[in-house]
Structure 1
């Protein structure tokens, strides 16, 4: 569905050139939800705007449905964009227009007939759960409802691809969850491919199949959600994960608990999450695990369990215990901090 090949975007200014995106390579298959995560200034928004050529890449190719958008004429690009919906952090609703007209006006502008416009507005308001707000104005809606109108507006053009530019970052946690559930519903029931950008790890956790981590314009790490949550490689990825699962013990806590040596994090995947492996190693290898922190992260396509422990015992027994855990699918690493 989406292929970015060595896409770069450079902005020129009085103080010199700024490389916002550097040699980005992305492939999103039809029907999947992919997420791009990074801190402010990482290049996420520029990257996603390159997908529908709201920003023209300085170099590289953007291929949607087998067509290279960078090679299309303006007219053909406009036609291709009709199959690419986009939702934004700021909603971008017309304040003086009703909910109905906010969805209908873009359809009228591209020449959709009156009855078809009416059918689509009602259909997609029903899908986003706002059928009763058809005559309301944006000022009468909550933030979550405004975003639902924006999503209905994007869906009304019946796209094959939906781009989401920080669509939940202005919303409270409960409303964010409801919007994420709506995106999952849209993906599953309408079969729409979704590419989103975010700086919130819980967004990635709840709906993404695949993840790209951006830093200073480059994609520094990528993989399935389970791969990144269970075995992150780069400090930036680890920092993001620490926002939802403690991956680092403070030096003051280590000193307070008088911990030294064999402070470990155990990551459990799949079947290993349901087995009493810590109890078994305690029985088999004469070691004593002192549990410091524990959590289970539910992802879209699986579960990742994390346990931080201080493992006590003779070094040869500890080595045997850790080998046993790794043989049973547990990832073992020295805890940061």
Structure 2
């Protein structure tokens, strides 16, 4: 559905050139929710604006539904953009227009007749749950309601692709959850492909099928959300994943614990999160597991849990226990056996 290949973008700053994107490539399949995450300055906002050519890349290919957008004439590009909806962090609503008119006016500018415009506005206000607010003004709405209007406006053009530019970062946690549920509903019921950017890992965790991690204008890691969470490779990715799981154990305590065993991080995904793996380990092997911290969250449709545990016992028993845990689909990280310099993970 979306194919970006070798995207490069450089801006001219006061201190010299700013390389916002450096040979970035990614592929989003039809029906996916694909997330791009990165800290401020990573290049993710520039990247998403290149998808509909609000920012024209210096080099590279931008294809949506196999159409090369960079090769289109201005008229053809406008037509192609009608198939790409976009929602923004700042809502971008007309302050002096009602909710109804904020959605209707862009439709009228495309030449649709009044009957079709009315049908579209009512249909998509109903989808976002704001029919009763159609005569209200933006100043009378909450932040979450404003974002729902912006989503309805984007959907009213009936696109096949929806771009989300930090759409939840200005919202409180409860409202963010509601907007994420709405995006899931749109994806599932309307079949719309969604590409979103964010700096919040909980957004990726809640709704994304795949994720790309950006840093300094480059994609440093990408893959299925499940794989990124259970086995992050890059240090930045690990920071994002660890932000959801606070294992704040004092270094002195960890040092003392490692004298009598090994401290490990256990990651559980899907069905394995509900299995009594540690209880089975204590029965099968001569070790004593002690849970130091942990939590369970959701990755879209499945559960994901992480525990920080102290495995007390002999190295040979711990090795056998780790192997058993792997066979139970538990990802183990951080176990290092003294004397052989080999990690059991």
TM-score normalised according to structure 2 size: 0.94
SS of structure 2 residue aligned to 1:262 = strand
- Assess, with a 3 A threshold, how the Cα gap between structure 1 residues 210 and 318 changes in structure 2: closer, same or farther: same
| Unpaired segments ≥5 residues, structure 1 | none
Displacement of 1:253: 4.8
Query: Bigger CA drift: 176-185 or 234-243?
Result: 234-243
CA distance in 2, matches of 1:324, 1:248: 27
Cα RMSD, aligned residues only: 1.6
| Other-structure match for 2:34 | 34
| Other-structure match for 2:302 | 302
CA distance in 2, matches of 1:174, 1:253: 36
Say if 1:226 and 1:302, in contact at 8 Å, map to a contact too: no
| Unpaired segments ≥5 residues, structure 2 | 337-345
Displacement of 1:252: 5.2
Matched, 1:109 2:135: no
Show CA shifts across 1:259-297 (max 9, x none): 545110111223322322211221111100111012112
| Other-structure match for 2:278 | 278
Query: Bigger CA drift: 10-19 or 75-84?
Result: 10-19
| Other-structure match for 2:339 | none
CA distance in 2, matches of 1:252, 1:182: 45
Say if 1:265 and 1:309, in contact at 8 Å, map to a contact too: yes
Show CA shifts across 1:122-154 (max 9, x none): 111111101001110000000000000000110
- Assess, with a 3 A threshold, how the Cα gap between structure 1 residues 87 and 285 changes in structure 2: closer, same or farther: same
| Other-structure match for 1:148 | 148
| Other-structure match for 2:340 | none
Displacement of 1:19: 0.8
CA distance in 2, matches of 1:139, 1:329: 51
SS of structure 2 residue aligned to 1:307 = strand
| Other-structure match for 1:43 | 43
Displacement of 1:305: 1.9
Say if 2:6 and 2:59, in contact at 8 Å, map to a contact too: yes
| Other-structure match for 1:80 | 80
- Assess, with a 3 A threshold, how the Cα gap between structure 1 residues 250 and 235 changes in structure 2: closer, same or farther: farther
Show CA shifts across 1:173-224 (max 9, x none): 0000000111111111111110000011111111100000001110101111
| Other-structure match for 1:120 | 120
Say if 2:257 and 2:263, in contact at 8 Å, map to a contact too: no
CA distance in 1, matches of 2:15, 2:47: 22
CA distance in 1, matches of 2:32, 2:249: 35
CA distance in 2, matches of 1:104, 1:56: 28
Say if 1:247 and 1:335, in contact at 8 Å, map to a contact too: no
- Assess, with a 3 A threshold, how the Cα gap between structure 1 residues 333 and 93 changes in structure 2: closer, same or farther: same
- Assess, with a 3 A threshold, how the Cα gap between structure 1 residues 309 and 125 changes in structure 2: closer, same or farther: same
| Other-structure match for 1:208 | 208
CA distance in 1, matches of 2:257, 2:285: 23
SS of structure 1 residue aligned to 2:169 = coil
| Other-structure match for 2:134 | 134
| Other-structure match for 1:313 | 313
